[in-house]
Amino acid sequence: MSYQLQVKGVTDEIKERLAASAERNFRSLNQEALARIQFSFEIEDSLRLKTLQKMIDEGLAGTERPGTLARLREIAAKARASAK
């Protein structure tokens, strides 16, 4: 299913940069905006996965450090919040 989304408050500079990028990539303004939104989510997902992998690696290393239990509780709280 496809939806329409209107973006308000776009500055002239952003519009010009988006238009230039669309032209370089042989896309319409809409296609370029969608590609950039998708790319931002891919970056976010990648960073989240790297963070989670680091936490897993730390856990598997088995080395206990000061604050480990507090860190675990913090991680669990963040996981619960992001699951909502």
- Name every residue whose Cβ is closer than 8 Å to that of residue 55 and which is 6 or more positions away in sequence: 75
Contacts 24+ apart (CB under 8 A), 7-15: 7/33
pTM of the model: 0.60
Name the amino acid, one letter, at 67: G
For residues 42 and 74, give the distance between their C-alpha atoms in angstroms, rounded to a whole number: 24
Six token digits for residue 13: 């500079």
Classify 9 as helix, strand or coil: coil
pLDDT tens, residue order, the chain (84 aa): 788 889 999 999 999 999 999 999 999 999 999 999 999 999 999 988 988 888 788 778 876 666 777 788 888 888 888 876
